[in-house]
Structure 1
Amino acid sequence: MRAVLVVNPRATSTSERSRDVLVRALRSEVDLTVRYTRRRGHGVALARDAVHAGVDLVVTLGGDGTVNEVVNGLMSAEPATIDGHRTSAERRPALAVVPGGSTNVFARALGLPRGWPEATSVILESLREGRSRTIGLGRADDRYFTFCAGFGLDAAVVRRVERARRRGQVSTAGLYLRATISQYFLGGHRHPAISLERPGAPAENDLATVIIQNTAPWTYLGEREINPNPDASFDLGLDVLALRQLHVPSTARTVTQMFSRNPNPRGRQVLRLPDLDEFTLVAGHPQAFQLDGDYLGEREKVRFASVAAALRVIC
């Protein structure tokens, strides 16, 4: 089996020594080539090259941003060979994810251990036994995402966190909490401005912020799962939670529900739409936009779609 390991050398939870250990472990099972990302977006190109080369497996070592780039490279490249008897997912290289970032939501949602040594052991065992799983993805316009997207408040929080990290702060649960509080009380744009449009149904207007999930959980705070849409699944469509207003009492109640051990957010200001195949968000003025925890700027309109049985993963 031919494989490519895509490494983010700035991954927060691994060192050069641990990367060497990982490479040796993988080479015990596969014919491995190692590639390093050099800039933001480079993972897309490396994954496309792997598809064109006809490799069987792409492994990532990095955080959720690295995974997102590699997934987009895999999904946007034409497979080297066309076999009409195989599905689109079967014609692409499989994906294996070694957690190397600070949160690693996608890897943990797949059921992999949080630590990279333990996760590597699970992946190697799956390779030996020929185990894989086919999952669905989300797509926002022309970009794929694995676990979540945000339009409005949560994306603005991601923007604050990224700015703090560029100033040298470490990505921690505390940083995200501080960014959330600062954005909520000081960020402005708390008036409803977003509409959700979907085929065959009336538009949902006057939404203040929208969270989209392709699986559960939405994210983690340390070891605790945060679940606005606890029934979201890789095997179903996209689940949406939107808030109609961002008033302090109703928002605090919804956040408390999301943090509970049996989350079921509800209330007059809460809109939940499960298992959607497609929908479009339209804003009255530009809104912050994020995919898989990466801030992508401001948008006034984004079309979302669920892509079923899109990608094989080793887990």
Structure 2
Amino acid sequence: MRALLVVNPAATTTSARVRDVISTALASDLKLDVATTEYRGHARDLARRAAEGGEVGLVVALGGDGTVNEVVNGLLHHGPDPEALPQLAVVPGGSTNVFARALGLPNDAVEATGALLDAMREGASRTVGLGLVSGTPGTEDEGVPPRWFTFCAGLGFDAGVVGRVEQQRELGKRSTHALYLRQVARQFLADPHRRHGTISLQRPDGEPVSGLAMAIICNTSPWTYLGNRPVYASPGASFDTALDLLGVTKMSMASATRYSAQLLRSTPERGPHGKNALALHDLTDFTLQSQAALPFQVDGDHLGLRTSATFTGVRRALRVIV
């Protein structure tokens, strides 16, 4: 099989030597081409060309969740077609690697490569569902290009934290869980909308919900990891269903402390809950609109401020080696 290995040289947890070991191992079983990303969006462009060329049967993403997201968006540029598009494989190289770990892969890049080679020799793969977010018709965000996501998106508080972390990384700070927790505290103190939510949820088959201060959309579970600890915002989310949503209508000091503790104690059976929490499962189509422009993120990538976003859960969108 001809394959393309897309390498992010800035991946947090791999070195040049490790990347050489991985490419050598993959080349022993594949007709391998290796491409190193050089700019933001380059992984997307490389994957799109691989999908359009028709000769590549597998694209391997070596990097963090941002690299994986770009590769997925490149593969699905013309829409999902699991039987015709190249398959996807992921070698975790970032600080968190939610998508790879949610697939059950080891969090070590070399171990994950070994697991992928075993899966390829056995012909093991699965088709996963993905999320798609696009601009909402009739709003100022109508023309925003659609974006696929693999594990989560967020509007409001959670996305504000992601934006703060990105700012710190641009200043040279390492992406660590301690850095993330500091930005959670800073976002809480600075967020003007956490007490009186501005987000409303609209869906074709349910009553509208208003007054959300934060909305987290999950395509799988766990939502993220703190070190080796999985965190479950929507425990029922799965690659085999559509999208789950966790909304919070009020974030006072007491409620924020309570929900933070619930997240840290969350399990595959139980996530955050309470009178100010909204948990919805297996949503195929819905729209979030906000009275104020709020931070927005997709797969941990901060995309600026948005007042609206329309979401679609697409089952069986892409075939993945695992």
TM-score between both structures, scaled by the size of structure 1: 0.95
Q: Is the 8 A contact 2:232 2:266 kept in 1?
A: no
Aligned residue identity for 2:255: S
In the alignment, structure 1 residue 37 sits paired with structure 2 residue 30: no
Letter in 2 for 1:270: A
Which residue number in structure 2 is paired with residue 25 of structure 1? Answer: 25
SS in 1 for 2:82: helix
Q: Which amino acid aligns with 2:272?
A: P
Q: Where does residue 272 of structure 1 map in the other structure?
A: 279
Where does residue 5 of structure 2 map in the other structure?
5
Partner amino acid for 2:162? Answer: V
Give the corresponding residue for 2:141. none
1:155 aligns with 2:159: yes
Rounded to whole Å, the distance in 1 between the matches of 2:266 and 2:160 is 26
1:123 alignment partner in structure 2: 116
Aligned to 2:256, what secondary structure does the other structure show?
Answer: helix
Amino acid at match of 2:289: V
Return the offset for 1:188: 2.5
Partner of 1:215: 220
Q: 1:52 offset after TM fit, Å? A: 1.5
Aligned to 1:133: 126
Please state whether the residue corresponding to 1:216 is helix, strand or coil: coil
Q: Structure 1 residue aligned with 2:172, among 168, 171, 175? A: 168
Distance in 2, matches of 1:147 and 1:166, equals: 24
| Residue 307 (structure 1) shift | 0.5
Counterparts of 1:73-222 in structure 2, within 5 Å, are 73-77=74-78, 88-141=81-134, 142-190=146-194, 191-222=196-227
Gaps of 5+ in 2: 135-145
d(CA) in 1 for partners of 2:271 and 2:8?
36
Contact 1:218–1:226 under 8 Å retained in 2: yes
Cα displacement (A) at 1:259: 1.3
The 3-state SS of whatever aligns with 1:203 is strand
Please point out which of 224, 249, 260 is paired with 1:244.
249
Question: Which string of whole-angstrom CA distances, capped at 9 and with x for unpartnered residues, describes residues 122-164 of structure 1?
Answer: 0000111111010000011111000000000000000000000
CA distance in 1, matches of 2:271, 2:164: 28
Partner of 1:84: none
Deviations 1:253-298 (A, max 9, x none): 1221121153332111001111101100000011100000000111
C-alpha distance in structure 1 between counterparts of 2:222 and 2:273, whole Å: 17
1:298 matched residue in structure 2? 305
1:233 pairs with 2:234: no
SS of residue paired to 1:39:
coil
How far the C-alpha of 1:189 sits from its partner, in A, is 2.6
> 1:252, CA displacement in angstroms?
1.4
Amino acid of the structure 2 residue aligned with 1:268: K
Per-residue deviation, 1:200: 2.4
The CA distance in 2 between the partners of 1:4 and 1:234, in whole Å, is 24
Q: Which residue of 2 aligns with 1:284?
A: 291
**Aligned residue in 2 for 1:72:** 73
Q: Distance in 2 between matches of 1:98 and 1:38?
A: 19
What count of residue pairs does the alignment treat as equivalent?
307
Distance 1:123 1:228 in 2: 28
CA contact (8 A) 1:52 1:77 kept: no
Opposite residue 147 of structure 1, the aligned amino acid is: F
Write the letter of the residue equivalent to 1:140. V
Task: For residue 207 of structure 2, give the secondary structure of its aligned residue in structure 1.
Answer: coil
Indicate the RMSD between aligned Cα atoms, in angstroms: 1.1
Code of the aligned partner of 2:41: G
1:17-61 CA distance string (max 9 Å, x none)? 111111110011110001111111111110011112221000011
Q: Quick one: which amino acid aligns to residue 308 of structure 2?
A: K
CA distance in 1 between partners of 2:191 and 2:276 (Å): 20
The CA distance in 2 between the partners of 1:208 and 1:160, in whole Å, is 18
Contact kept? 2:266, 2:272, Cα under 8 Å = no
Q: Can you list the C-alpha shifts for 1:50-107, whole angstroms capped at 9, x where unaligned?
A: 11222100001100000000000000147xxxxxxxx920100000000011110000
Q: Which amino acid aligns with 1:196?
A: L
Where in structure 2 are the equivalents of 1:49-60 lying within 5 Å? Answer: 49-54=49-54, 55-60=56-61
Structure 1 residue corresponding to 2:263, chosen from 232, 245, 258: 258
Alpha-carbon distance in 2 for matches of 1:232, 1:267 = 19
Task: Note if contact 1:51-1:77 (Cα within 8 Å) is conserved in structure 2.
Answer: no
d(CA) in 1 for partners of 2:266, 2:6: 35
